[in-house]
Copies of this chain bind each other. A is one copy, B any other.
Amino acid sequence: MFDHLHWERESSRYGDPLILFKTRFDRLRHPQSGKSFERLILESVDWVNCVAINTDGQLVMVRQFRFGAASTTLETPGGMVDPGEDSETAIRRELIEETGFVGGTWSYLGAVQPNPAIHDHLCHHWLGVDVELDGAPKNEGGEFIQVELHSPAQVMHAIQAGEIQHALALSVLSRVYNIWATPTVDR
């Protein structure tokens, strides 16, 4: 389907690795003009994030300094899927590492493409209900994360106030809650 839109890849080369990504440059042929163009692809393992709700109905959230934004953000927990790991194992591991919360009942909420123009991987969304605090977070030395519990109403308020702006955090939250109160246009 949509074969007429397909760009044939003529060649690929790898650039310098970028800590989180392998950089690949593909040379591809325009389906109509036949001209060739070089395009950037950031290769990575899949990402994963979650809405994690404790036994009191509070959301387990993380606050940390983010290097791209150069500011502190409030987000849902998440991270990267280790090679060979399935995404449920990954999100449960990341939740323990970042927050110290364990257990709960987990449901898969689907996946999004962080940006299909450049990323070759997905971000998987999970819902964990009735997670419980087991001990201190097990952060690696390269992270510094503050764990916070917020009621759903507080999280909705933080979204409306622009305090939560991470597209992938908003994406997983939107699978669980109606995060934008009023549709702008009638369907």
Contacts and interface: CB of A to CB of B under 8 A. Distances in A.
A110 B162 contact: yes
A37 interface: yes
Nearest to A41: B68
Given A20-B40, A65-B31, A183 B187 contact: no
A6 B112 contact: no
A156 B116 contact: no
Interface string A38-76: 111110000000010100000000011111111111010
Given A30-B142, A32-B144, A180-B175, A120 B69 contact: yes
A116 B166 contact: yes
Contacts of A6: 65, 72
Contacts of A176: 183-185
A83 interface: no
A33 interface: yes
B7 A65 contact: yes
Contacts of A141: 30, 33, 35
Contacts of A72: 1-2, 5-6
B64 A115 contact: no
A81 interface: no
Nearest to A165: B113
A168 interface: yes
A153 interface: yes
Interface in A1-42: 1-2, 5-7, 9, 15-16, 18-21, 23, 25-26, 28, 30-33, 35, 37-42
Contacts of A146: 2, 5
Closest 10 CB pairs of A and B: A69-B116, A66-B116, A112-B167, A39-B67, A2-B72, A68-B118, A19-B40, A68-B119, A176-B184, A113-B165
